[in-house]
Structure 1
């Protein structure tokens, strides 16, 4: 079923994302434990999350909504926050923006405390 949280969480986990929590209202809130606990959020790991959600949307397994991601090093130790707009997924899938533009838009939202 589109929007099934179990499906989103399972897909993220199958792509080596250590999901701590997933919740959905008008926004999909994802918190994941990074495999790269340095000073900065790992962009490749962000990409895996984005690509997983893009694939789910393209397959009709998830109806895109705004995504708010929290990256943690350990419980209570936030490494950063980033966002994903569902319109960016739609634009990428329709070839209105490039993968580089998509990545730039997501990276522009990155906040590291």
Structure 2
């Protein structure tokens, strides 16, 4: 099934109701797409909860859409005042191996291990 909205709009629509506001999304020429978002959480760094929210949404859209395939994803998290809270990523190889050689919990841990906290930076 293909959504009538571009992937960035579909991603934004699904994340907005969960407190994650997409500020920039670019499909990459290489294996990584780039996502930047703001959260309304009162924490200075990236949380596992927000990473899980974005990952579950991206995986769901990957399953639902014919016009977009989740590969690698490089992510920047910001606070509502624009401060950079941290970064994290999904490696394209992990997506390929999900359910084959990597379990869902193993996949989650790989992604969580990439979190870099940039508290208070721009």
TM-score grouping bracket, smaller chain normalisation: 0.7 to 0.9
Which structure has the larger Rg? 2
TM-score for both structures, normalised by structure 2: 0.76
**Is 1:98 aligned with 2:103?**
yes
Give the stretch that moved more between structures: 96-105 or 12-21.
12-21
Shift of 1:13: 2.8
TM-score for both structures, normalised by structure 1: 0.81
Contact 2:21 2:37 in 1 (8 A): yes
CA gap 1:49/1:12 in 2 versus in 1, 3 angstroms: farther
Which residue in the other structure is 1:81 paired with?
87
CA distances 1:64-111 after superposition (whole Å, capped 9, x unpaired) = 22111000013540000001112222322x342122111110011110
CA gap 1:43/1:64 in 2 versus in 1, 3 angstroms: same
Runs (5+) with no aligned partner, structure 1: none
Q: Which has the higher helix share?
A: 1
Deviation >6 Å, runs of 4+: none
CA gap 1:109/1:5 in 2 versus in 1, 3 angstroms: farther
RMSD: 2.4
